[in-house]
C-alpha cells in the first residue's frame, strides 16, 4: 500500500493556525485508525529556530532526539501520536546547508547547482524521509510554513507540485485561507481567497479542499461562491471559525463538517468512523469547570503570546484533568523590581510558575518571586531557568550566600551555585550546541517528584547550558533542599524541591513539551491538583 501525502498551504495572511489545523486533521485521521507522520517545512534561512529571539519566533520546541524545532511541532504532539524527531521539521537554511555541503564534496559531478532540481530534490527527500521514520505510516501531513505568494516559500511549493506529479494518486492539497468580515461594509469577503488560490494555480497547484478561517461560520451561498471562483467542488469548501473556548474544539468542528471523511475518500483510504468520545468528555470538562485556579507566570517574553506556548497548554491540560477552570496572569519579571513590592506587583495568584529563559534581563524579579513563594508557602513551579532561580534564591536567603548567582548572569560571582555544564565549556557556536533532547532521570524515593510521577525512572527533554553546581550539594541538603531527580548514572541534579514547603519544585528540563490534552503531564497535574484541593475544588 502506498503512503499518502496531504500538503497544507496557507493563504492571505500568516498566523491562521495552520499548525493547529494540521494537528487537528492528524488527530481525526488517527482516530480513524490511520498511522500518520507530520512534517513542518519552514521557509526561513536559519538552520533551525534555536538561535532566534522568542519575540521573533515564539517558543522553540525540542524533540527527544534533541532537535530545536518550530512550535507547530508542539501542536502536533498535543493532538496526535505522530513520531517527532529531527525528520519532522526542515527549514530552507537546513536544505541549502545540505545542498552546499554536497556541492563542496563534489557530489554533483560538475553540474550547475540550481534551485530546480537540486534544492527541490532535497525537499522531496525530506518528505520521503518523514514517511520512513517508523514502519506502517500510511499518511504524511506536510505543512508548508509562510503564505502563498511569498518569494521564500516558492521552492517548497515547486517541490510539492513535482511530488504530486510523481505520485498523482497519493497526494492532496488543502489550502487554508482567510475570509474576513468587513465591518464597515457589513460583508464577508472572498476576494483575498480567490487571489491566493490564483497564486497557487500559477505555480501549478490546484487545491483539492479549501478551509476558510473566519469569525463566524460561512453561509452555503458563500461556500458556493468560493467553490466556483476557486475551482473546487462545493462540498470541498469548509469553514474553520474562531473557537468559542478552546483550540481543542477545532477537530470536532471539522469532523462535524465531514472534513476527515472527505480526505479519506479523496485519498481512497479505507478507515472506520472516528471515536471521539474521550475528546468530547474532556471538552465537556472545559465548558463546565468547577471554580478556578489562578496561576501567575513570571517570565521575560510575556507580551508574545507564543513564547511560552507549551507552558500555557500544559497548565490547561492539568486544569482540564482536575476539572477546574484556569486563569493565567502574566507578569513581566523586570517590572517586579521597579514596583518595589513583590506583593503589589504579582500578589493574588494561587501559585506561580517561572518558565525557561536566557540572559540577564528580568532575573532579579524571578528571584523575588521565588523568595515570595518560599516565605509565604505559596506553590512555585520552576522550569529550567525557573529551577536555577529557585537555587539562587535558596542560596542567597537560606544559605546566606549573598553573592550567589548563575554564571550565565555574573560570570565572576564568588558563589557560582549555578554554573556552565562541563561539556559546554569551550563551545563557540551558539546554534544547536546546548544540552538538548531526552535524558533519563532517576527519582528519589519518598519525594514530591516520586508522588507526581509514580515512577523511579523518567525521561524528560532538555535545552540548557547551565546546571546546579554540585560543589554546593551538601550545603543545600543540610538546609532542606531535596535533589529528588538526578541524571541516571550521572551527577547532574535535574529536580530540586524545598522540603517543608507544600509545593516548591524546580526542574532542569522542560516537562511542558510532553503534555497532551489526553495525557496531562504528571508535574503540571499535581501542581494544579494541589492548588485545587487546597481551595476545596478537587
Contacts with ligand GLN by CB under 6 A lie at: 356-358, 384-385, 408, 463-466
Per DSSP, the chain holds a count of helices (H) and strands (E) of 19, 23
Q: Is residue 204 within 8 Å of residue 18, measured between CB atoms?
A: no
Angle at 234 between CA 230 and CA 237, to 5 degrees: 70
Strand 504-507 to strand 171-178: parallel, antiparallel, or no bridges (unpaired)? Answer: unpaired
Catalytic residues: 384, 510, 512
Q: Which is nearer to ligand GLN, 156 or 301 (CB)?
A: 301
Q: Which is nearer to ligand GLN, 76 or 363 (CB)?
A: 363
CB of 91 to ligand GLN, least distance (A): 21
CB of 349 to ligand GLN, least distance (A): 21
Q: Which is nearer to ligand GLN, 7 or 468 (CB)?
A: 468
Q: Which three cell numbers stand for residue 52?
A: 532566534
Q: CA-CA distance, 33 to 22, in Å (whole number)? A: 17
Q: Which three cell numbers stand for residue 268?
A: 481512497
Q: CA-CA distance, 38 to 28, in Å (whole number)? A: 13
Strand 435-443 to strand 481-487: parallel, antiparallel, or no bridges (unpaired)? Answer: antiparallel
Q: Which is nearer to ligand GLN, 319 or 417 (CB)?
A: 417
Q: Which three cell numbers stand for residue 428?
A: 563557540
Number of residue whose CB is nearest ligand GLN? 356
CB of 308 to ligand GLN, least distance (A): 11
CB of 129 to ligand GLN, least distance (A): 28
CB of 413 to ligand GLN, least distance (A): 15
Return the closest-CA partner of residue 395 out of 371, 421, 372, 373: 371
Q: CA-CA distance, 10 to 121, in Å (whole number)? A: 22
Phi and psi torsions of 118, nearest 5°: -70, -45
Residues 6+ apart with CB under 8 A from 241: 213, 214, 215, 216, 217, 253
Q: Which is nearer to ligand GLN, 10 or 437 (CB)?
A: 437
CB of 467 to ligand GLN, least distance (A): 7
Q: Where are the alpha helices (DSSP H) in 135-258?
A: 154-166, 191-203, 220-230, 250-256
Q: Which is nearer to ligand GLN, 96 or 358 (CB)?
A: 358
Q: Which three cell numbers stand for residue 291?
A: 471554580
Place of cell 525530506: 126
Place of cell 517590572: 335
Amino acid at each position: 500500500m502506498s503512503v499518502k501525502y496531504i500538503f497544507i498551504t496557507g493563504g492571505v495572511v500568516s498566523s491562521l493556525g495552520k499548525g493547529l489545523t494540521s494537528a487537528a486533521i492528524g488527530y481525526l485521521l488517527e482516530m480513524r485508525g490511520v498511522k500518520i507522520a507530520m512534517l513542518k517545512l519552514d521557509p526561513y534561512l536559519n538552520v533551525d529556530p534555536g538561535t532566534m529571539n522568542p519575540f521573533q519566533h515564539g517558543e522553540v520546541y525540542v524533540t527527544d532526539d534533541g532537535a530545536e524545532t518550530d512550535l507547530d511541532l508542539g501542536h502536533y504532539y498535543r493532538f496526535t501520536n505522530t513520531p517527532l524527531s529531527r525528520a519532522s521539521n526542515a527549514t530552507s537554511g537546513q536544505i541549502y546547508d545540505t545542498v552546499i555541503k554536497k556541492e563542496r564534496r563534489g557530489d554533483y559531478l560538475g553540474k550547475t547547482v540550481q534551485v530546480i532540481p537540486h534544492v527541490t530534490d532535497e525537499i522531496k527527500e525530506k518528505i520521503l524521509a518523514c514517511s520512513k521514520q517508523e514502519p506502517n505510516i500510511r499518511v504524511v501531513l506536510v505543512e508548508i510554513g509562510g503564505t502563498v505568494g511569498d518569494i521564500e516559500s516558492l521552492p517548497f511549493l515547486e517541490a510539492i507540485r513535482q511530488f504530486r506529479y510523481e505520485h498523482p494518486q497519493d497526494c492532496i492539497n488543502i489550502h487554508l485561507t482567510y475570509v474576513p468580515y468587513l465591518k464597515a461594509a457589513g460583508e464577508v469577503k472572498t476576494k483575498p481567497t480567490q487571489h491566493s488560490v490564483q497564486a497557487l494555480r500559477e505555480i501549478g497547484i490546484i487545491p483539492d479542499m479549501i478551509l476558510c478561517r473566519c469569525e463566524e461560520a460561512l453561509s452555503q451561498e458563500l461556500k458556493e461562491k468560493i467553490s466556483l471562483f476557486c475551482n473546487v467542488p462545493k462540498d470541498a469548501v469548509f469553514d474553520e471559525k474562531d473557537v468559542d473556548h478552546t483550540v481543542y474544539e477545532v477537530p470536532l468542528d471539522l469532523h462535524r463538517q465531514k472534513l476527515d471523511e472527505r480526505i479519506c475518500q479523496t485519498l481512497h483510504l479505507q478507515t472506520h468512523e472516528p471515536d471521539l468520545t474521550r475528546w468530547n468528555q474532556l471538552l465537556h470538562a472545559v465548558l463546565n469547570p468547577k471554580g478556578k485556579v489562578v496561576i501567575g507566570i513570571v517570565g521575560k517574553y510575556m507580551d508574545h503570546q507564543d513564547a511560552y506556548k507549551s507552558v500555557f497548554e500544559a497548565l490547561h491540560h492539568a486544569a482540564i484533568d482536575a476539572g477546574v477552570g484556569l486563569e493565567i496572569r502574566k507578569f513581566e519579571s523586570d517590572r517586579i523590581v521597579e514596583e518595589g513590592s513583590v506583593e503589589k506587583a504579582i500578589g493574588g495568584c494561587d501559585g506561580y510558575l517561572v518558565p525557561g529563559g536566557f540572559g540577564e534581563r528580568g532575573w532579579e524579579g524571578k528571584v523575588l518571586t521565588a523568595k515570595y513563594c518560599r516565605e509565604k508557602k505559596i506553590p512555585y513551579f520552576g522550569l529550567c531557568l525557573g529551577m536555577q532561580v529557585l537555587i539562587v534564591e535558596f542560596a542567597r536567603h537560606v544559605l546566606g550566600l549573598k553573592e550567589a548567582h548563575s554564571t550565565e548572569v555574573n560570570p565572576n560571582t564568588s558563589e557560582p551555585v549555578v554554573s556552565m555544564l562541563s561539556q559546554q565549556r569551550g563551545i563557540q557556536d551558539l546554534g544547536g550546541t546546548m544540552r538538548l533532547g531526552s535524558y533519563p532521570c532517576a527519582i528519589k524515593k519518598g519525594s514530591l517528584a516520586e508522588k507526581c510521577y509514580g515512577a523511579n525512572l523518567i525521561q524528560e527533554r532538555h535545552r540548557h547550558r547551565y546546571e546546579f553546581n554540585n560543589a554546593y550539594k551538601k550545603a543545600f541538603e543540610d538546609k532542606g533542599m531535596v535533589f529528588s531527580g538526578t541524571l541516571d548514572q550521572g551527577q547532574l541534579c535535574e529536580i530540586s524541591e524545598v522540603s517543608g514547603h507544600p509545593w516548591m519544585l524546580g526542574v532542569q528540563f522542560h516537562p511542558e513539551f510532553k503534555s497532551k490534552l489526553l495525557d496531562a503531564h504528571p508535574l503540571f497535574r499535581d501542581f494544579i491538583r494541589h492548588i485545587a484541593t487546597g481551595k476545596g475544588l478537587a
